[in-house]
Amino acid sequence: MVFKVKRSLVFGILVSALLLLSGQAAWPSAQPRTLLVLGDSISAGYGLQSGESWVALLQQRLTAQGYGYRVINASVSGETTTGGLSRLPRALALHKPAVVILELGANDGLRGLPLDTTRANLSRMVELSVGARAQVLLVGMKIPPNYGPRYALGFEKIFSELATQRKLALVPFFLEDVALAPGLMQDDGLHPTAKAQPLMLQTLWPSLLPLLKR
């Protein structure tokens, strides 16, 4: 009996060793890193078909280039920085992202909300993301001077100043190659068309690339 037990134990060890050497051991595979996009309608794909948004194109590019990231799109049309801040803690706890792309603020500016509130909300979201061990890419936006040039300039400077203070990766203006180009904005003048999405990804990619790991 003792001999049979020992023989069974030795046999089990040998089988496990062979499986390890052959790469077929049933160990859990490593989970892919997560990239969280927290944005508004620009990232939620307003007016677009499924798979047309820059976020969907980002997932395709990451996969094609061998980056093991799973993109989670937590963007909501009409979202403000206040709404994003309220949702971020749960998203961080649920997805544990390695990278967070913050694309919020445009709706604050279009509604003429206090600049100090927008700045404080974005700053707090950066703090929460960094505290959760995620790298942050801040996506800047610009607004028309509906509330005067002083407000519009102050809004624009929020992103560059926060990126400098927090040493963040920054996209200065997400719609740089899109906003004034014929045929690249929908009829409302606020949301990019499907044709604009690859250009938006191209604008964002150089700022995101240094944050990625293979």
Catalytic positions, written as ranges: 41, 188, 191
d(CA 150, CA 103): 22
Q: What burial letters (b/e) apply to 97-107, b meaning 16+ CB within 10 Å?
A: bbbbbbbbbbb
Contact 73, 82 (CB under 8 A): no
Give every CB contact of residue 40 below 8 A, 6+ residues apart in sequence. 75, 76, 77, 78, 79, 80, 103, 104, 106, 107
For residue 211, give every residue at least 6 positions away whose Cβ sits within 8 Å of its Cβ, in sequence order, or none: 99, 135, 137, 169
Closest CA to 59 of 46, 47, 45: 45
User: Rounded to an integer, what distance in angstroms lies between the CA atom of residue 84 and that of residue 214?
Assistant: 29
Q: Report the C-alpha gap between 201 and 192 in whole angstroms.
A: 12
Task: Return the DSSP state at 179.
Answer: T
